[in-house]
Every structure is written in structure tokens, then in C-alpha cells.
Amino acid sequence: MDYSVARRRMVEQQIAARGIVDQRVLEVMATVPRHIFVEVGLQGHAYGDASLPIGKKQTISQPYMVAAMTAALELQGGERVLEIGTGSGYQTAVLSKLVKRVYSIERIAVLAGRARKILDQLQLSNINIKIGDGTIGWVDQAPFAGILVAAGSPDVPAKYLDQLDVGGKLVMPVGDQEQQILMRITRHKDGRFEREQLMGCRFVPLIGEQGWQSESLV
């Protein structure tokens, strides 16, 4: 398979055709090799219009959802961004090419280690990954201009709002275990948090102190 052709078709048919107009996001997603973030047996499906399993009951998100969430952050290039749920590392890689630095938290050590190896292979040096409870954020590196959460939560953890910089945007799925709404929350300088509903979605559960308490609940 010619993966470069597959990437271009993915961007044209699945992302741009559905209304994503952020040119920087489109260009990055046309270059990041999504196939190396999945198992060899699934690489032929890497540029299809679907999420894929990556082990440990986790998934690599549908390409359109990665693009939509990234575009919703409205990144300019100099930001420091927090990602919750490193997973395969694909979303991390996309963010790393759009911002100054990415701080990514993953609760499953084996996934964090695998992602780190792939990101190092791609020579992406502006990424910090730590293993821990993503629902409490990364306090000693806050505030962040953007926070992207790749897991669904019953509500927005208060600690995310505390760690969002003025003018910053938080993008995350909120809802029950079956269905969520992708939310964008903007912090204004008057202290107000503006909430927008972007679209329906379905993500793996956000597990931790300020999310779902355990996978048995979902």
C-alpha cells in the first residue's frame, strides 16, 4: 500500500470534505504516518474512516475526530498543550507538529511506553509523557493554552478548568458511558467559562479520581 496516497485521500475525503478548514491541521494530518501507530495486522486499515483497537481496551480515534478536536483548539503555533490519554501516540504526534510543547498523560504504562518509542522514532522532541491519573491534570506544568481529552467523562473535571490559561480552550467528550457530546470550553479573562456543544461522539471512559472511578462502571 502507498501510505502517502492513503493519507492524502483520508484528508480530502474524510476530513476536509466534512468541513475541517484549518489548513495547518490538514497539512499535518497529511504527513503524520498513522499506520505506524497501530499493529502491523491493522496497518492496511489505518487510513479508513474508523477508530481501531490498540490493546488494553483502548482505541486510536477516527481520523475525522482527531482533526475535529485538534481544529477546535484553534492553535496558532506557540502554545503549550495538555493531552489526556496518550493512547497510541497518534494524536500526540499531530499536536506536537502544531504547538511549542505537548504534555501528555497516560494511565496505562504499556501504552505510554509504546507511544514513546514511536514518537522518538519520528524524532518528535517537544513531547513530555508521564504515567498517572489524567483526570487531575499536570499541575506543575499548568497553565495550558489548550487541553485535549481523548476519553469520555460524566462531567468536566474541575482541575482541568483550574489549569486552563486565560483565553485557552478545553476540548473533551462529556456524557454517559454510551454516548457523549464533544464540548469546547473557553476561559475568558473575566473568569467566565464559555461552553459550546460541538457534536455527538463516543469515546473510551476517562478513568480516575475526577472521572469514572473504574472500568467496571462502564
Residues forming the active site: 61
**CA atoms of 44 and 76, how far apart (whole Å):** 33
CA distance readout (Å), 185 to 47, 49, 51, 198, 213: 29, 27, 25, 10, 23
Between CA 65 and CA 70 the distance in angstroms is 8
The cell for 103 is 504534555
Looking at this protein, which amino acid is placed at residue 110? V
Q: Is the peptide bond before 154 cis (omega within 30 degrees of 0)?
A: no
User: Beta strands 58-60 and 52-55: pairing type?
Assistant: antiparallel
**What is the spatial distance between Cα 173 and Cα 179, in angstroms, rounded to a whole number?**
9
